[in-house]
A and B are shown apart, each in its own frame.
Chain A
Amino acid sequence: MVDFVNALPSTLEQGLIYALLAMGVLITYTILDFPDLSVDGTFPLGGVISTMVIAAGHSPLLALLAAIAGGAAAGLCTGLIHVKLKVRDLFSGIIVSTALYSINLKISGGKSLATIGRKDVTLFQNNPVAGFFSGLVGDFSTLIIIFLVVLVVKILLDLFLKTRAGYLLRAVGDNERVVTALACDKGRVKIIGLMIANAFAALSGAVLCQHQRMFEVSMGTGAMVLALASVIIGMNLFRRVSFVKGTTAAIVGAVVYRMCVSLAIACGMGASDLKLITAVLFLIILAAGLLRKGGKKHA
């Protein structure tokens, strides 16, 4: 238990970073109704882009923007494969995530591990903002920066979902016919949704790599499962509270999920058991019958 409490700040940090990924999966899984497996590839893609941009001496913000662009481009590929080549949704994602494994290795220069040096500027170290927060709250500065990033992204997503484009995105997952009836190309709307979702996944990977100061090529394995578990946990926690937004639920779900993992580790499981813990947790969620889609199947 002491281990769990001691690890709490870092558990929160990681939970919030994975919350970005969970928000991406929220878009595909609950809003678009598209089981998008490409996040297993776009999550590490964001990570490797961010790591390499920083290692090359550029600013951490540029690294994040580059990662977002990379994620969106990968989402575009998944979308085009699904919409234009009419490949099934699951396969489109698998194809892209498989291809990305090699592409990620290429970006990292063929190495399965890439690191960010102690002297390099990341979001969390060697920059004025981080310096300011560390003067204020010491070790909690990392947590605060991550929290701010997640908050900004969440607010932006909430605002987007209230725009006309956002309405259309929600409509395409709910009832494609309505989108067609509105004289809009439903394929295009789906592609845009996949681009946004994968940009979120890549951003999450990018922040994680800056946080851990390293990229590891297999970091994406199970990303989709982990994010989906977070989304489902979050949505079930707030099932009876209608005013809680999906984004809030995803964030809380991701943090709770991370706490479960941290608890398992505190109980004596090793770091190498992480994927096993992920799988078992996900299985528990599924077996407990929690996999109900939020208010979708009324009709």
Chain B
Amino acid sequence: MLELRNICKIYNPGTVQEICLFENFNLSVPEGQFVSVVGSNGSGKTSMLNIICGSIAPDSGSIILADKDIVRESEHRRARRMGRVYQNPAMGTCASMTILENMALADNKGKRYDLRPGTDRRRVEAYKELLRPLGLGLENMMNSKVGSLSGGQRQALSLIMSSMTPIEFLILDEHTAALDPKTAEIIMQLTDRIVREKKLTALMVTHNLRYALEYGDRLLMMHQGGIVLDKAGEEKQAVQMDDILKIFNEISIECGN
């Protein structure tokens, strides 16, 4: 169980641009749940992920994980149990290193980065096995620099790398937004498979309402730092595209758009 309790976050405090994003924001995600999060720009989706991952610190509140408050834990310590994929495919990999080197790095997560050889030759076949099902041909270019790959290829690699070692949480920050529709579909199916196979707790922010409806066991809709729609299980299955669009429209009218 991951719990956000009474999270408050104010951007630019004390200036004219002061924005109070979260005021006593609460959310609890049971273990193994796949949550899709939608909402307009500035609704706090990415900020919520950043607070969970430790990239930004909330002004107050706590993040409870396995009965422990981890709000003061550093980002890299939290990363031991979390994998994260960003919107920008470049963010999850090292461009100047080869596919093999990137995977070897990810494979060593949680262990010491010491003077042993960087790449364990015996693991190469296992890496290729992970890449083969993607059908992107990555397994045949292990020694290519990641910087020479397409966005879709890089994102697929980021996703694989983020979940190579045992993690509990997968944080997906609009991870299909920068991809063409076909590649986005491949990445989404891969995401779903990884979450199910590894029984991960996943939080996926997306602007693609169809993905939000199709994937995941729970749908959250955020607006101005609050949750305006929260449906799980069968209730979520019953939600239609029109329902979400209606709420979006209501919000827009309310905001004067």
Contacts and interface: CB of A to CB of B under 8 A. Distances in A.
Interface of A: 160, 162-168, 170-171, 174-175, 177-186, 294-299
11 contacts: A162-B117, A162-B119, A163-B118, A164-B105, A165-B115, A170-B96, A175-B90, A182-B106, A183-B76, A183-B77, A295-B95
A167 B91 contact: no
A160 B114 CA distance: 10
Nearest to A185: B76
Contacts of B119: 162
A181 B162 CA distance: 8
Contact of A163 (B94, B96, B114): B114
Contact of B147 (A160, A184, A299): A299
Contacts, number: 102
A298 B145 contact: yes
Interface in B87-110: 88, 90-97, 101-102, 104-106, 108-110
Interface string B133-168: 000000000000101100000000000001000000
Contacts of A171: 94, 97, 105
Q: Which 10 A-B pairs have the closest CB atoms?
A: A298-B147, A299-B90, A174-B94, A167-B118, A183-B80, A164-B113, A183-B79, A168-B113, A298-B95, A163-B115
B75 interface: yes
Given A181-B83, A185-B74, A298-B147, A174 B112 contact: no
B94 A170 contact: yes
Contacts of B118: 162-164, 166-167
A170 B94 CA distance: 9
B87 to A, nearest CB: 12
A168 B94 contact: no
B116 A163 contact: yes
Nearest to B85: A181
Nearest to B146: A298
B84 interface: yes
A179 B105 CA distance: 9
A89 to B, nearest CB: 19
Contacts of A186: 76
A178 B95 contact: no
Nearest to B78: A183
Nearest to A192: B113
Given A167-B104, A185-B74, A175 B94 contact: yes
A180 to B, nearest CB: 5
Contacts of A297: 95
| Residue with the greatest number of chain B CB neighbours at <10 A, chosen from A160, A168, A175 | A175
A177 B89 CA distance: 12
B144 to A, nearest CB: 11
Interface in B213-244: none
B52 to A, nearest CB: 14
Given A163-B116, A167-B104, A175 B93 contact: yes
A62 B141 CA distance: 46
A90 B74 CA distance: 26
Contacts of B112: 164
A297 to B, nearest CB: 8
Given A182-B79, A182-B108, A183-B110, 6 more contacts: A164-B118, A178-B102, A179-B76, A182-B76, A183-B77, A297-B95
Contacts of A182: 76, 79, 105-106, 108-109, 113
Contact of B105 (A168, A294, A296, A299): A168
A165 B108 CA distance: 11
A178 B108 contact: no
Contact of B113 (A175, A184, A296): A184
Contacts of A184: 76, 113
B145 A295 contact: yes
Interface string B51-75: 0000000000000000000000011
B109 A164 contact: no
Contacts of B117: 162-164
A275 to B, nearest CB: 33
Interface string B33-45: 0000000000000
Contacts of A179: 76
